[in-house]
Amino acid sequence: MEGGDHLAHERKKAQFDVEAMKIVWAGSRHAFEVSDRISKLVASDPAFRKDNRPMLSRKELFKNTLRKAAYAWKRIIELRLSEEEASKLRFYVDEPAFTDLHWGMFLPAIKGQGTEEQQQKWLPLAYKMQIIGCYAQTELGHGSNSSKWWPGGLGKISTHAVVYARLITDGQDHGVHGFIVQLRSLDDHSPLPGITVGDIGMKFGNGAYNTMDNGVLRFDHVRIPRDQMLMKVSQVSREGKYSQSNVPRQLVYGTMVFVRQTIVADASCALSRAVCIATRYSAVRRQFGSQNGGPETQVIDYKTQQSRLFPLLASAYAFRFVGEWLKWLYTDVTQRLQANDFSTLPEAHACTAGLKSLTTAATADGIEECRKLCGGHGYLCSSGLPELFAVYVPACTYEGDNTVLLLQVARFLVKTLSQLGSGKQPVGTTAYMGQVEHLMQCHCNVQKAEDWLKPAVILEAFEARSARMSVACAKNLSKFTNPEEGFAELSGDLVEAAIAHCQLIIVSKFIEKLQQDIPGKGVKQQLGVLCNIYALFLLHKHQGDFLSTGCITPKQAYLANEQLRALYSQARPNAIALVDAFNYTDHYLGSILGCYDGNVYPKLYEAAWKDPLNDSVVPDGYREYIWPMLKQQLRTARL
Ligand SMILES: CCCCCCCCCCCCCCCCC/C=C/C(=O)SCCNC(=O)CCNC(=O)[C@H](O)C(C)(C)COP(=O)(O)OP(=O)(O)OC[C@H]1O[C@@H](n2cnc3c(N)ncnc32)[C@H](O)[C@@H]1OP(=O)(O)O
Ligand SMILES: Cc1cc2nc3c(=O)[nH]c(=O)nc-3n(C[C@H](O)[C@H](O)[C@H](O)COP(=O)(O)OP(=O)(O)OC[C@H]3O[C@@H](n4cnc5c(N)ncnc54)[C@H](O)[C@@H]3O)c2cc1C
């Protein structure tokens, strides 16, 4: 079948209103309209072409990114795009660039940690891109005293950086503070005296994150004017006297709370993109199983394919909703901080750190699973999956290594439990710890598979598992005379307790979403199926935790799995429509396997001939290397 919509028969199977689901996915009608308009704007502009990325050398690739970034900025100004529209434009251009760090970290660091005066001086310059900044925290070695290593945008482009370094006055070390430092001349871009700066080299994958100039930076007797220390949290007077404002020191790390929150929202985008490709292709691909000469089976109909694919589809939706909630939490904590209420900062830190860790790990693994779900063709660059994986996977490391972040969550959980004794009632995402006595001894009430569809049953099982794992850690910790030693010794268990807590957050926010009014025929019902798939898939995957803590019985674990299989069958007819609801353009997906019309094979065939190797029938190098070898073989054969 040439042309036409090869997935039309699949789209007809949908049991819900896809247009209404698009609004739910986008967050609101307004968000949908902005996203739809900007995605089409980018897709229709040849200046944003990206299919040639894997073929370009590093220098060509980087220059191409600079061109795109400058062109995007020009379009933002010409079209008078709002901040929301501009960030959508960046999203659909789909190419990491120095501008990400400028807008995503340099500006927020000044906003969060600069005084009013400092903000007035630096923000207008940064907003007009008259200076370009990056965020320089990580070191080559360790200790905030060797070389900075990794900051994006630093290597070749940034004129300024917010540099994190130890502040020492009168011989006293006051710990790490942020400083605005000019790195390069605003006239000829050469590094200022005493500054050594450059790119750290090629990274994983062709194209991918190599559009970014991650950099190295060294200082040799560089003087930073006193008023360029970010002084909202602490100050140094003209006389060199150090003082602290009446705000928690942890605000120095506030930029990370902001960025981790955006990374969670971004995880749902990356995962949904991979899932969209794998789902469409699974409906197109047929392999084996034909009976009486009929067509072969669509691979999406294999239960094994469904049990690998549908939990990822459900996770994409789950991460979307938890990302939405996290955005609300971040806005709330920001408003509180402005009113000098710091009470929710530890929770915001724990939630952003933990959810960043969980969602990026699941997304990175999920993209790779989607590649495998597409069989051999998934390994072709034209599937879009290799580049997506290569560009995404560092999210497990940047903004805090995922294990290090889970240990931050574990500290927060242990602290929360220890405060129960003093009568402090836990709130927010740890409110369930207030019921710890009940959760330690409750019994799951599931008797038949359908009982697992009750939100209260699911929630109690996840709460009991999380509470019991945290309490077990706290009990074991109390056996150590040195708490830090105990924490180090038990860190493996603590990480698992943190994972259980974060999974509970994601499950509970999905359930809360379903309690809202959701318009559109069948939309809520489909989301209910996905929510149950997400929860029961986790329960099945981690059944060791649920069983060993006595939260469920082996029979109940068996029933959960039985229910999960039934849910996969319910999701099957809706699968294509559920990925159509992401509303991704073919340009954004960048994948032949995931193209909207499903016309995969002719496109794969055509794309192969565009590969530079096929420019000539006989390749370069044939005369030099192959021809002499063939001749040699001929001579040997005659002998
Ligand atoms: C108009 C155009 C628009 C265009 C728009 C374009 C927008 C584009 C947006 C793109 C978004 C950006 C893209 C991002 C790309 C990625 C770039 C990557 C950047 C980085 O990686 S930056 C470096 C990040 N580094 C880390 O994350 C290090 C991880 N380690 C930590 O986080 C450590 O905790 C620490 C280093 C911060 C501190 O360690 P330390 O040992 O000194 O302290 P503790 O861990 O013991 O903690 C002490 C107490 O402080 C609390 N804490 C820790 N961190 C935080 C925090 N962030 N917030 C609040 N509180 C925090 C702990 O809980 C401890 O508290 P306690 O009560 O004392 O126990
Ligand atoms: C693509 C990319 C972009 C980046 N962009 C920036 C940027 O713009 N600005 C910036 O400042 N930085 C940036 N970074 C650096 C990034 O923030 C760090 O790499 C990250 O925080 C991890 O730190 P590390 O590299 O020192 O890893 P390490 O801390 O050395 O981790 C190595 C291993 O040790 C383990 N480990 C470390 N500490 C502990 C512990 N306490 N307990 C148990 N296990 C532990 C980790 O789990 C990991 O397995 C970027 C990194 C990447 C890959």
pLDDT tens for each residue of 316-340: 999 999 999 999 999 999 999 989 9
Position 120 scores a pLDDT of 98
C-alpha to C-alpha distances, 394 to 26, 95, 97, 451, 456, nearest whole angstrom = 25, 14, 15, 40, 37
Residues 203, 289, single domain; the answer is: no
Span from the CA of 409 to the centroid of ligand 1 (angstroms): 13
Reported as a pLDDT band with limits 50, 70 and 90, residue 421 is confident
pLDDT exceeds cutoff 70 at 503: yes
Residues 199, 334, single domain; the answer is: no
Span from the CA of 381 to the centroid of ligand 2 (angstroms): 28
Question: Which of 580, 612, 629 represents a domain boundary (last residue)?
Answer: 580
Reported as a pLDDT band with limits 50, 70 and 90, residue 633 is low
Ligand index nearest the alpha carbon of residue 140: 2
Q: Any idea what the CATH number is for the domain that residue 529 is in?
A: 1.20.140.10
Span from the CA of 398 to the centroid of ligand 2 (angstroms): 6
- Of the chain, the percentage scoring pLDDT greater than 90 comes to 91
pLDDT (tens digit, 9 = 90+) per residue, 37-86?
999 999 999 999 999 998 999 999 999 999 999 999 999 999 999 999 99
**Range 298-322 average pLDDT:** 97
Say how many domains are in the chain. Answer: 2
Residues 364, 433, single domain; the answer is: yes
Reference 53, options 95, 97, 92; nearest CA is 95
- Of the chain, the percentage scoring pLDDT greater than 70 comes to 98
Distance CA 324, CA 24 (A): 11
pLDDT exceeds cutoff 60 at 26: yes
- In a domain, residue 217? The reply is yes
Asked whether residue 152 is marked as a ligand-binding residue, the answer is yes
Reported as a pLDDT band with limits 50, 70 and 90, residue 144 is low
User: Residue 544 in contact with residue 551, Cβ under 8 Å?
Assistant: no
Asked whether residue 481 is marked as a ligand-binding residue, the answer is no
pLDDT (tens digit, 9 = 90+) per residue, 557-575?
999 999 999 999 999 999 9
Distance CA 140, CA 149 (A): 5
pLDDT exceeds cutoff 60 at 639: no
Strand stretches in 392-452, DSSP E? none
Pairing relationship of beta strands 160-169 and 133-136 according to DSSP bridges:
parallel
Question: Which of 201, 218, 246 represents a domain boundary (last residue)?
Answer: 246
Residues 369, 240, single domain; the answer is: no
Residues 235, 341, single domain; the answer is: no
Q: Which residue bears the tokens 């995404």?
A: 392
- In a domain, residue 351? The reply is yes
Strand stretches in 466-586, DSSP E? none
Q: Which residue bears the tokens 């969550």?
A: 409
Position 638 scores a pLDDT of 61
Q: Which residue bears the tokens 């503070």?
A: 177
C-alpha to C-alpha distances, 336 to 248, 344, 505, nearest whole angstrom = 13, 8, 22
Sign of CA dihedral 600, 604, 605, 609: positive
Pocket probe for ligand 2: among 357, 398, 489, the residue whose CB has the most ligand atoms within 8 Å is 398
Residues 182, 291, single domain; the answer is: no
pLDDT (tens digit, 9 = 90+) per residue, 605-628?
999 999 999 999 999 999 999 999
Pocket probe for ligand 2: among 103, 106, 150, the residue whose CB has the most ligand atoms within 8 Å is 150
Residues with Cβ within 8 Å of 308's Cβ and at least 6 positions away in sequence, in order, are: 369, 372, 373
Span from the CA of 357 to the centroid of ligand 2 (angstroms): 13
Position 636 scores a pLDDT of 63
Question: Which of 553, 580, 607 represents a domain boundary (last residue)?
Answer: 580
Position 207 scores a pLDDT of 84
User: Whole-angstrom distance between the N-terminal and C-terminal Cα of the chain?
Assistant: 54
Distance CA 129, CA 312 (A): 39
Position 338 scores a pLDDT of 87
Residues 165, 295, single domain; the answer is: no
Position 3 scores a pLDDT of 66
pLDDT exceeds cutoff 90 at 17: yes
- In a domain, residue 35? The reply is no
Residues 231, 377, single domain; the answer is: no
What angle do helix axes 523-541 and 554-571 make, rounded to 10 degrees? 140
pLDDT exceeds cutoff 60 at 371: yes
Range of the domain at 181: 98-246
pLDDT exceeds cutoff 80 at 635: no
Position 1 scores a pLDDT of 43
Residues 520, 573, single domain; the answer is: yes
The ligand 1 site (C-beta within 6 Å) comprises 76, 83, 86-87, 90, 100, 103-105, 135, 137-138, 152, 250, 253, 256-257, 259, 262, 345-346, 349, 398-400, 404, 408, 411
Ligand index nearest the alpha carbon of residue 256: 1
The ligand 2 site (C-beta within 6 Å) comprises 101, 135-138, 150-152, 209, 214, 394, 397-398, 400-401, 403-404, 407
pLDDT (tens digit, 9 = 90+) per residue, 516-532?
999 999 999 999 999 99
Residues 123, 231, single domain; the answer is: yes
Q: What is the pTM for the complete model shown?
A: 0.97
Residues 338, 234, single domain; the answer is: no
- In a domain, residue 529? The reply is yes
Residues 215, 303, single domain; the answer is: no
- In a domain, residue 633? The reply is no
Pocket probe for ligand 2: among 156, 176, 396, 401, the residue whose CB has the most ligand atoms within 8 Å is 401
- In a domain, residue 439? The reply is yes
- In a domain, residue 49? The reply is no
**Range 475-504 average pLDDT:** 97
- In a domain, residue 619? The reply is no
